[in-house]
A and B are shown apart, each in its own frame.
Chain A
Amino acid sequence: MGVEARKPPTQIALKLRRALGGKAGWNGVAVQLVFGAILAWIAYEIISNARTNLETQHIAAGFGFLQNSASFDVNQTLISYSGSDTYFRVFVVGVLNTLLVSVIGIFFATLIGFVVALCRLSPNWLVSRVGGLYVEAIRNLPLLFQILFWYLAVLAALPNPRQSVSILGSFFLNNRGVIVPSPLAQPGLVPFLAMLALGLVASLVLRSYARRALFAQGRVIRIWPYVLTLLVGLPLVTMLVFGLPFSFEFPQLKGFNFAGGARIIPELVALTVGLSTYTAAFIAEIVRAGIQSVHKGQMEAGSSLGLSRGTALRLIVVPQAMRVIVPPLTNQYLNLTKNSSLAVAIGYPDLVSVWAGTSLSQTGQAIEIIATTMGVYLLISLFTSAVMSIYGWRLNRSLGA
């Protein structure tokens, strides 16, 4: 009878060597030691230099200054803020303003980007050329150039409030920004929102039920009439019962300025326009590449199975294109968020502007402030890449199944 094969001896030393020094073995360990020593030396130099420099400049290190009163004003805040509030509140205001401009920018960039991509893919020669012209012109000019162009040239050239450009008599464009009607809450708002939420939840439940029925039993349930009723009909009925959810206060020209309505500051307008048109050019290229990456045989195969053009697009082409589009698209969203830091050039009160700009020059706490600023952006990008890895993992799982 054959003797059972002996196990190879456990080579603890080898394994240790591999873990500590990689393929290079003990040489790798030596390299690491030297490298670590150099890093430690640099860190030591940095810390000792920073300590002496801060001492000579009479700056107390640490985050104690967060509780001090900031004593400067911010011209656009999402939460209540006055000059007597603390630096910590300034920080929060800055983060919220950054997020605000990013969300608005992402919305418009996606919209413009998809439209431009469709233009570029259009069989119409002229339209595809116009789309190409847009992409080439926008992508080859610096973003800061474009933001400054909108801010210093276009918006500054707008007339003063008395000669505002009026759109439909309720939106006014002038050199102090855009005046829009402001919504005012009415008693019907709470039931309206409640019904809207209810409709949303019910539609999601319906959808998951229909999908389960489709995958488990192959039954196709037509749910869109119910969804439509839930999402539109229910709130409409509520509106009839409880009255309008909100009303608009329209801006009126009084003297030299507008009364009523809400003013969108020109910095926000310039930044949003610049960011969204710039990012849209990149999104357009991503979407175009994504749609072109789906082989045309896929569409033909769908037709030969008897699917209509719309169904084939919806079930076959778009899902495959999305697989290619989504990762770089997220990257562009992240870029837009990071690029929103250019706000500092035109004075929009975003994180970099009010925190790393005004607060830094007032307190001189360079290390703490710049570290927290970088930290916020790092957190945003780490969060996005975490979401993207989950997406990729789900995608792999669904493809593997």
Chain B
Amino acid sequence: MTDITASSFVREDLVAERPAPVKTAGFLGFVRTRLLNSPTNILLTILGLLLIWYTVIPTIKFLLVDAVWSGKDRTACLAENAGHPVGACWPFIQAKFPQLFYGFYPEAERWRVNLTFALGAVLLLPLLIPRLPAKGSNAGLFFFAFPAVAFFLLHGGGITGFGVSWVAGLLQLFADSISGVGEVLVGLSKASAAGPLLWAIGGAIALVGTLLHWVIFPLIWLRDQMQAAGQGLWLDFLITAVIVSVILFMLGGGARAGSRPLIASLATFAGIAAVIKLMGLDHGGMPIVDTRLWGGLLVTLVIAITGIVASLPIGIALALGRRSTIPLIRIFSITYIEFWRGVPLITVLFFATYMLPLFLPGNFTVDGLVRALIGVSLFTGAYQAENLRGGLAAVPRGQEEAASALGLSWWKTTSLIVLPQALRHVIPAIVNSFISLFKDTSLVSIVALFDLLGSLRASFADPVWTTPSTAFTGFAFIGIIYFIFCFGMSRYSLFVEHRLNAHRRN
């Protein structure tokens, strides 16, 4: 046996210490691995640094270091008076602040705008936080009650009637137009070759109109009585509340199902009554502020929120229409969606501004802001429909079939089973289209509405503030406002997406 320890291949002295491995953790390690690990990367890092040096640093310098913070007019923002190269001219923003936020909204009434913004924020925030309860009533308040309240707050004015009067007026208009069509057809029959046929159809339609007039006669009589008595609003309100509550009670299953729907309905009406009383709508409401005086961020937010609120139902209807098997409805939805998606928004706004007034009866004028709102809602509705279609396609077929197997009708299947799941799927896409809607609101400045961007452009014309840095200051300021809104929404969309995909993460 040989002695192993004596063999020549066993080391006798200790191995020398190896140098420590290159550090890959910590700041230095990070710099080494992510910034300077190869010649190309070193070059790229230098390029990146140069880029930052020439863009970010001058921006910060312009906004903060070289900025002028106080002054009365343009003289404060001139280099020879300030004594140094002048960056942002913040006194300009200070002077134009009311214009950028409210437009020409009367100064004494601006609290109404602030109150509306505050109300909107109070209703919107809990809606966005998933953990908070009562999403249903919260959404109802934000999507239905808030727009109505905001209208009376911002625009002013009161109401003279309520449900009964409105329904009576609408039905009367409907019946009148049916009778009108019938009479026109009868009139045409004298000159036409197909005279007797036209005469018969026209006569039938006119007969339907007359019948309708007879059916709705009690309602109109009631309205006229109330209005003749003066101060008919509260009587009208009371009758509407009773009728609607009774209908809801019956539909909800009567006494069998308990009194929940009844209580909910009565509570809603009590809330409406409180709002009417509080805002004095029964006495003419607040002084009317014409929409031509609105401007700035107010208009931007009004258009964005109206677009958001109005485009969802339009989108849902169109998306369901596109999936429908009924030929005419499907063809109509497809044509509508593809048409609006194929044209730029600015032509839609031109359409709403110049063409829409031609399509309406001559004595019927539509406010400029409302025209833009109609254009934006129709346009965004088509995009929402495409988003929702994706969501509807993602709901497994089995869900619908299971609902049918349980005997649910098409309406119940859609509203209780399919739509809630589809909407959940597409929340991020919907929020993304809200972002582009918010950005697109700036286009209304082209059709002579003064939104945030339009107000800024108008404020450049003021000779009191013409300095070399005025334009840059203005753009920087409203750029920050736009960025905060859009960036906030996009982060929220990411957050929701993350939450919805929780089961897919691993």
Contact = CB atoms under 8 A, between A and B. Distances in A.
16 contacts: A21-B326, A22-B326, A49-B360, A123-B37, A124-B48, A126-B35, A140-B482, A141-B486, A142-B482, A144-B442, A144-B453, A145-B453, A153-B475, A352-B346, A377-B343, A378-B339
Contacts of A19: 327
A13 B297 CA distance: 60
Contacts of A41: 177, 181
A370 interface: yes
B350 interface: yes
Interface string A2-29: 0000000000000000011111100010
Contacts of B47: 127
A32 B326 CA distance: 7
B110 to A, nearest CB: 25
A49 B366 CA distance: 14
A140 B355 contact: no
Contacts of B35: 124-126
A271 B445 CA distance: 17
Contact of A145 (B181, B355, B471, B475): B475
Interface of A: 19-24, 28, 31-32, 35-36, 39, 41, 44-46, 49-50, 52-54, 56, 122-127, 129-130, 136-137, 139-145, 148-149, 152-153, 156-157, 338-339, 341-342, 344-345, 352, 356, 360, 366-367, 370, 373-374, 377-378, 381-382
A35 B329 contact: yes
Q: Is the interface of A mostly helix, strand, loop or mixed?
A: helix
Of B37, B324, B330, chain A has the most CB atoms within 10 Å of the CB of B324
What 9 pairs across the A-B complex have the smallest Cβ distances? Answer: A22-B325, A140-B486, A125-B34, A142-B439, A338-B344, A126-B48, A153-B471, A381-B342, A366-B354
Given A140-B487, A381-B342, 18 more contacts: A19-B327, A22-B324, A53-B362, A122-B44, A124-B35, A124-B48, A125-B34, A125-B35, A126-B48, A127-B45, A127-B47, A137-B483, A141-B439, A148-B475, A152-B460, A352-B350, A370-B347, A370-B351
Contacts of A137: 483
A378 B338 CA distance: 9
Q: Please indicate which of the listed interface residues B358, B435, B439, B490 has the most CB atoms of chain A within 10 Å of its own CB.
A: B358
Contact of A39 (B37, B41, B325, B332): B332
A382 B479 CA distance: 34
Contacts of A123: 34, 37, 41
Interface residues on B, range: 35 or more
Contacts of B49: 126
B200 interface: no
A333 to B, nearest CB: 14
Contacts of A144: 442-443, 445-446, 453
A58 to B, nearest CB: 13
A338 B347 CA distance: 10
A344 B354 contact: no
Given A35-B332, A46-B359, A141 B482 contact: yes
A341 B34 contact: no
A31 B329 contact: yes
Contacts of A126: 35, 44-45, 48-49
A130 B327 contact: no
A21 B346 CA distance: 37
Contacts of B350: 352, 356, 360, 370, 373
- Most chain-A CB neighbours within 10 Å: which of B34, B324, B355, B472? B355
A286 B357 CA distance: 41
B327 A44 contact: no
Interface string B406-432: 000010000000000000000000000
Contacts of B34: 123-125
Interface string B438-467: 011111011000000100010010000000
A22 B181 contact: no
A36 B327 CA distance: 11
A56 B355 CA distance: 15
B347 A127 contact: no
Interface string B275-317: 0000000000000000000000000000000000000000000
Contacts of B181: 41, 44
A333 B346 CA distance: 17
A389 to B, nearest CB: 13
B325 A24 contact: yes
A374 B362 contact: no
A129 B49 CA distance: 11
Contact of B354 (A35, A130, A360, A377): A360
A36 B51 CA distance: 61
A374 B347 contact: yes
Contacts of B332: 35, 39
A136 B479 CA distance: 13
A19 B487 CA distance: 48
A289 B491 CA distance: 18
